[in-house]
Structure 1
Amino acid sequence: MNLAEGVQIVSFGLLSLMMIGAALGVVLLSNIVYSAFLLGGVFISIAGLYILLNADFVAAAQVLIYVGAVNVLILFAIMLVNKRQDFAPLPNAWVRQGATALVCAGLFVLLGTMVLATPWTTTNVLGTLPAESTIVRIGEHFFTDFLLPFELASVLLLIAMVGAIILARREFLPEETMSPEAKQQPALTLPEKPRELLTAGSDKKG
């Protein structure tokens, strides 16, 4: 993507702020559903950074795989569990929180040191060659050389999706697969009025 230098800097700053804010929300929010939605925001902002780096296929794969598959799978798992129970306070929880903060700070320092120590200039490597899109070439390989593995992966994902739907709708299984105990359970009906009240009302009318 050929953009002006100022536009690239502004876009990089906005995407970085979006990614950092969403990542902090994933870690700090107590509601796990909100954390899962913010995780999708992290993935989308990373895809935007890939677009700035002219990695169009990696950006598309980031959106399709991580946002469209992994994040949706996490949301489905959370909503299917539907466990409405508050977290019980743990003894000495501050020790775990302190250890987590130290690990995160160490990773941040390590990654920051690698970013500052890495030479990011690529002019000697790329030269004057223009950045070309690789989506067309990868698509040609998918539908020519690697057609059979591509279709097998599609069938495998379809089988997994059908199995997830059957597990989610297990209360609608046919009667042949139900246990005898489940068949003997009475159906849900409206509560009837007590017979004593009915007889007392009829005596008063008479």
Structure 2
Amino acid sequence: MDNVIGQIDRALDATSVIVAALDEGSMAAPTPCREWDVRTVLNHMVGGMHIYAAALSGTDSGADHESDWLGGDPQGAYAAAAEVDRAAWHRPDALDYTIHISLGALPAAAAALVHLTELVVHGVDLAVAIDRPDLADDELCGELLATMQARGGIDKFRGPGVFDAEVPVEVGEPAHRRLLGYVGREVLARTP
């Protein structure tokens, strides 16, 4: 399970590079995550990091998931949330908890995989939205896709608000496109 914690670290680092490339003009850009613009996706990620960290440390996050976590400094908000999130997952007892999330009560090991999925997929949503797919960590995307498929897939989570139906993507496409097609991101399933 240390592998998933290492992957969370990598996802936090990779997404920080994408977040650093955002500017005020890109905040309203549409993303492959239907009906969410860049600011909404980033806010969702930052809120999620705080909520997971609070659950792992037995504290209150202080706000709801979709509250305004970004304020006037989206990059600073992401950096602060990433620091808190990373510290929480590196607690020696982090994987001993049951985490309560929107999907229900999950053992922390399973919740870690859900969190990794959110970080990687939403990070790529942001990269594509600002036309910087080159910032996506294709190695990590490929690892996550292989893990999801090896665990029997995500079909039980397909539906509104979680994952849409899989969108076919050419085998030769980069891993980030194949991952997003797998989770139903239609925008990324087409070769430009």
Q: State the TM-score, normalized to the length of structure 1.
A: 0.27
Between 1 and 2, higher relative CO (CA 8 Å, sep ≥ 6) is seen in 2
Work out which of the two has the higher radius of gyration on C-alpha atoms and give 1 or 2.
1
Between structures 1 and 2, the one with greater helix share: 1
Between structures 1 and 2, the one with greater strand share: 2
Q: State the TM-score, normalized to the length of structure 2.
A: 0.28
